[in-house]
Amino acid sequence: MPYTEDRSVWFQGQGLWQHVPESDWRDWTWQLKNRITTVEQLERYMTLTPEEKAGCLFANQKLALAITPYFSTSSTGMIRTVPLRKQVIPRSDEMVLSSGEMLDSLGDGRTPSRAVPCGTG
C-alpha cells in the first residue's frame, strides 16, 4: 500500500506492515534486516519534499539513512515539520558545512571521527 497523508486509511500498530507476522515485527533482528535505506524504499511509504529527497540521495556519501519499520510507523504519517520526521529523514540543508565546522575538530591530523569530550560547569 503506498503512503498517503489521508489519516483515515492508516493502520493501527504495525502501520503499513500489517502483512508482517507479529513474531517478526517484535524481533529486533528482523527490524534491522528490513530497514529502509534507500530513497526508493522510503518513497513507497511517504511523499518526500525536494529537500528530503536531496538529503536522502546524499545519505550514501555523508549522512546515514536507516529507518526500521517500527520507527517508520511513528514518522511516516507526520506532517513535514514534526521533529520526529526531521530526526529520521535527512534534508539537503544538512549537507552545508559552516565556517566553524572542521573535519578534524582537534586540529591534530588524526581520525576525524573521534569523540571530543566537553566538560562544563
The C-alpha cell at 79 is 506532517
Amino acid identity for residue 13 in this structure? G
Amino acid identity for residue 118 in this structure? C
The pLDDT of 93-109, averaged and rounded, is 71
Average pLDDT, the chain: 75
Contact 42, 75 (CB under 8 A): no
pLDDT at 108 over 90: no
pLDDT at 60 over 90: no
The pLDDT of 39-67, averaged and rounded, is 83
pLDDT at residue 24, as a whole number: 92
pTM of the model: 0.62
The pLDDT of 16-20, averaged and rounded, is 82
Strand partners, 67: 36
